Amino acid sequence: MGKTVVMKTVVMRHPRGDPRPVETPEQPARSDPADGCVFCGILAGEVESSLVYEDEHVVAFMDITPVTPGHLLVVPRTHWPHLEDLDEDAGAHLFRVAHRLARAVRRSGLRCDGVNLLLADGEAAFQEVFHVHLHVLPRFAGDSFRIDADWRTADRGELEAAAAKVRTGLRRLGDERPRAGSESPGASGSTR
């Protein structure tokens, strides 16, 4: 017996600019993370997937709606709805595996002149499945993937004000996160 997945329609911007309705799973309040989560269904073997990689902490499989050929998702085995919920060590492992898979895609024979790693966290960031996941997107000139934004150079005062707010957020986290450069090999301390 399959689980019922409640769907909602959201409008996302199509790469050509025209809006298109997209069916996405509605995430009801629940105590059982597998209830309605398509990724938990994949992990439980209840939903079909094209598996690329798995270990005790994550799985990686092909995205059912690929932006480009080779577009895959890296998903933790534990159900964490948002980045805020994700254990830091699990997050590091998620990115380590995505990094390795990005290198594999470059050597795969698929068209790949570059790679984007993309994690959409929250509705405002277009997260559609509320189980943390990292997209590995092979890129090439002329592909249809776009991120539209107001790419402008900010003045130093605006940057310093935003940096101060982020530092405040770090202090509020307390000692649960390492300081930049203290435990990160190769941390440069760049002020860019």
Decide if 93 is catalytic: no
CA distances from 110 to 91, 138, 143, 185 (A): 27, 8, 13, 32
Closest CA to 123 of 5, 11, 3: 11
Do β-strands 19-25 and 7-13 pair in parallel, antiparallel, or remain unpaired? Answer: antiparallel
Cα–Cα distance for residue pair 89/2, rounded to 1 Å: 32
Cα–Cα distance for residue pair 129/10, rounded to 1 Å: 12
Which one of the listed residues 71, 79, 133, 135 is annotated catalytic? Answer: 133
Q: Annotated active-site positions, please?
A: 133
